[in-house]
């Protein structure tokens, strides 16, 4: 393990598609600690993620760089008769990264740091308030989400299917799906808020 590595441990259920997330505060702490140790080196600063189980590891995936941070990516655990063959990143792609997004490493949509600071919700230029709170939608946009699924066969030679769900996600715009879901939930909330019990 490298000297400056941090580890997040997740428990998953076999053949269930799961969403893995850490907190933005945890990611910021790791980024800030790394950035402070490399500030004089002149090297490009990147944060990568590696999936591992025992001695089986995925290739590193860039999830943060000097331009911003990845919003969503996918991963597949490939099993052969219940034993892990490999762990592989699944590119979700950059179909529509939204107004404040960009394509990171030609693999996944990323958000700029400016879109994750809630600065746009302050009272304009010069507003120094530190108590501006991001909405839930803004907080979610700035978290790395990893969609994890399984493919191959289990110990009973049953075929795993959750990997196909991860593959199908790449057919859609993640930011578009998220925006649509957020708007629908907001509409439902507004309907309940305006409902009169009399």
Question: For the residues of the chain, what is the DSSP string, one character each?
Answer: --TT---------TT--EEEE--HHHHHHHHHHHHHHHTTT-PPPEEEE--EETTEEPPPEEEEETTEEE-EEEEEEEEETTEEEEEEEE--B-S---TTEEEETTTEEEEESGGGS-GGGSSSTT---S-----HHHHHHTS-EEEEEEEEB-TT-PBP-HHHHHHHHTTS-HHHHHHHHHHHHHHHHHHHHH----
Q: What integer best gives the mean pLDDT of the chain?
A: 77
**4-8, 140-144, 188-192, 194-198: segment of lowest average pLDDT:** 194-198
For range 153-176, the mean pLDDT: 80
Give the confidence band of 125 by pLDDT, cuts at 50, 70, 90.
very low
Identify which has the larger pLDDT, 28 or 194.
28
In tens, the pLDDT along 76-117 reads: 999 999 999 999 998 766 777 777 788 888 888 888 887 776
């Amino acid at each position: 393990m490298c000297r400056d590595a941090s580890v997040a441990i997740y428990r998953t259920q076999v053949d269930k598609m799961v969403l893995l997330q850490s907190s933005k505060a945890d990611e910021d702490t790791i980024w800030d600690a790394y950035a402070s140790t490399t500030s004089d080196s002149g090297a490009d600063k990147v944060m990568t993620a590696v999936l591992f189980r025992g001695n089986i590891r995925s290739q590193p995936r860039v999830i943060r760089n000097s331009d911003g941070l990845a919003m969503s990516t996918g991963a597949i655990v490939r099993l052969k008769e219940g034993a892990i063959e490999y762990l592989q990143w699944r590119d979700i792609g950059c179909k529509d990264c939204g107004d404040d997004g960009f394509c990171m490493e030609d693999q996944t949509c990323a958000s700029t740091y400016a879109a994750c600071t809630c600065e746009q919700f302050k009272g304009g230029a010069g507003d120094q308030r530190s108590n501006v709170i991001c909405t839930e939608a803004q907080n979610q946009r700035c978290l790395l989400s990893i969609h994890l699924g399984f493919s191959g066969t289990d110990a009973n030679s049953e075929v795993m299917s959750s990997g196909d769900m991860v593959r199908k996600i790449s057919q859609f715009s993640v930011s578009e799906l998220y925006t649509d879901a957020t708007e629908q939930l907001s509409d439902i909330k507004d309907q309940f808020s305006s409902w009169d019990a009399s």
